Amino acid sequence: HHFRSRQVSDGREIIVEALVETASRHGFRGVRATNFYREWPETICLLNLQKSSWGSQFYMNAAVWFKRLGAERRPKEYNCHIRWRVNSQMEDNQAKAFTQALNLEYALPGDQRQSLVRNGVDTYGFGLLARCESERTALQVADECAPSVLVTLEARRQEKAN
């Protein structure tokens, strides 16, 4: 059992390392290695690493907060106005490999786990979030990525009357 718990903590390190590296390339700053934020005048973008309540599966969530709808410096992912699971935007094969890479009970060489996580989050996490620098572009990304993106009604309803 000791081995398994070591395998899990090493695996988590590998995932976090891939995140930290990719985050900084896209201008995101990490808070406790589970939340990575980037702030723009209209939005706060967030990538969140979530551990399953059971087992050693992790999930990656991307989210956008509209500052006009609330003064929040570090919004929680589940309260954000736009949200998606990073793997929901991938083709089936990549989504499957990405999900396996985030499952620490799934045996994978560390460098392979790291590159699967890095590539997935680069494109469908930080990459998409980096385009959400305004409400307008964030809603555009949400539309392109529909239907697997949640957008709150207030974010839609309040689309600025330009």
Nearest to 10 by CA among 150, 121, 111: 111
What is the model's pTM? 0.91
22-78 per-position pLDDT tens digit: 999 999 999 888 999 999 999 999 999 999 988 899 999 999 999 999 999 999 999
Summarize pLDDT for 75-113 with one digit per residue, the tens.
999 999 999 999 999 999 999 999 999 999 999 999 999
Residue 151, classed as helix, strand or coil, is strand
Q: Are 31 and 37 in contact (CB under 8 A)?
A: yes
User: Is residue 107 helix, strand or coil?
Assistant: coil
**How far apart are alpha carbons 38 and 64 in whole angstroms?**
10
pLDDT digits (tens, 9 = 90+) for 113-151: 999 999 999 999 999 999 999 999 999 999 999 999 999
For the segment 7-29, what is each residue's pLDDT rounded down to a tens digit? Answer: 667 888 999 999 999 999 999 99
- What span, in angstroms and rounded, lies between the C-alpha atoms of 140 and 59? 24
Tell me the residue type at 10.
Answer: D
* DSSP code per residue over 38-81: EE-SSEEEEEEEEE-SSSSBEEEEEEEEEGGG---SS--GGG-S
| Gap between the Cα atoms of 159 and 138, Å rounded | 11
